[in-house]
Amino acid sequence: MKTYIAALVFVAAAAAPAVVAQETHTPALESFEFIGCSGDFEDMDATPEIWRVTADGKVSFLTHTVGACGLAGRAPAVAGNAETLDLNYELFSPTDAAIMCECEYWARFTFGPGAHTVKTATFGGNRAVLKGTWPGR
């Protein structure tokens, strides 16, 4: 009996790190596309928006943010775990100039099946309005 209990304790202890690893694992980014500016931003609320879209077994997060006109996007960054992601990318001026207006920028972050468990997301550490279909909502 003691051997049986010891074996159960060993199996449970060995499995615990795997469970923790699954909970803290950040889904791998498969692709990033900076779509660009869709026009001048004229709304009053510049809170980032994130749409969750699923197709062909992949999960994409389409981000809508506001920044100075004339910029491009690069260096996507993803942090978080299997349930919560923080998405971000760097806006930069390819011509070392920025136009004095605000633009609506769009970008797409695409992940494999591991991102199907993501329930919430932020952009650059800031709360975002979540749109589309999200698990548990």
CB-based burial, 5-42: b 16+ in 10 Å, e otherwise: eeeeeeeeeeeeeeeeeeeeebbebeebebeebeeebe
Query: Which residues lie below 8 Å from residue 37, measured CB to CB, with a gap of 6+?
Result: 69, 71, 103, 104, 105, 106
Q: What is the pLDDT of residue 59?
A: 95
Q: Which residues pair with 51 in a beta bridge?
A: 62, 131
Q: pTM for the whole thing?
A: 0.78
Tokens of 56: 């062909």
* Mean pLDDT to the nearest integer, 67-85: 95
| Paired sense of beta strands 29-40 and 99-111, if any | antiparallel
Give 47 or 7, the one with higher predicted confidence.
47
Give 132 or 1, the one with higher predicted confidence.
132
pLDDT for 7-20, tens place per residue? Answer: 444 444 555 454 44
